[in-house]
Amino acid sequence: MPRCFIIDPADNVATMLDDAQASAKLEILGTGGGAVDLSAGENISLGHKVAIADIADGQGVIKYGVSIGLAAGMIRRGQWVHLHNCVSHVDQRSGTLDLHSGAATDTRYE
């Protein structure tokens, strides 16, 4: 069973310790072991975040007990949380990067 880890009890996301296929049931480690019966809503890679609660549009994405960004649109429990649905409070450029590779899309090569 793919594992994910909650670092702070106040968090609404967990970090994947293994790759998870869509609809895989997740084992939850760390401080939030109380949350049960969580499944991956889509493929989520190791190191990436899964929502462990519904997060409304404009609400804080909470990890380490602090807001690491704001939800850009409704995020459902079990969904992958990344550049496509979470925006930094301070960094404008990160929202323009390629979702999967993180590569800059605004640098011209010719």
Instruction: List interacting residues with another protein (CB under 8 A).
Output: 3, 5, 7, 15-17, 29-30, 45-49, 61, 63-64, 66-69, 81-83, 86-91, 93-94, 97-98, 100-104
Q: H-type helices in 32-109, by residue range?
A: none
SS3 content of the chain, % helix, strand, coil (to 5): 5, 35, 65
Nearer to another protein, 52 or 86 (CB): 86
- Dihedral sign, CA of 11, 4, 29, 39? positive
For the CB of residue 81, give the shortest distance to another protein in the complex, in Å.
Answer: 7
For the CB of residue 57, give the shortest distance to another protein in the complex, in Å.
Answer: 16
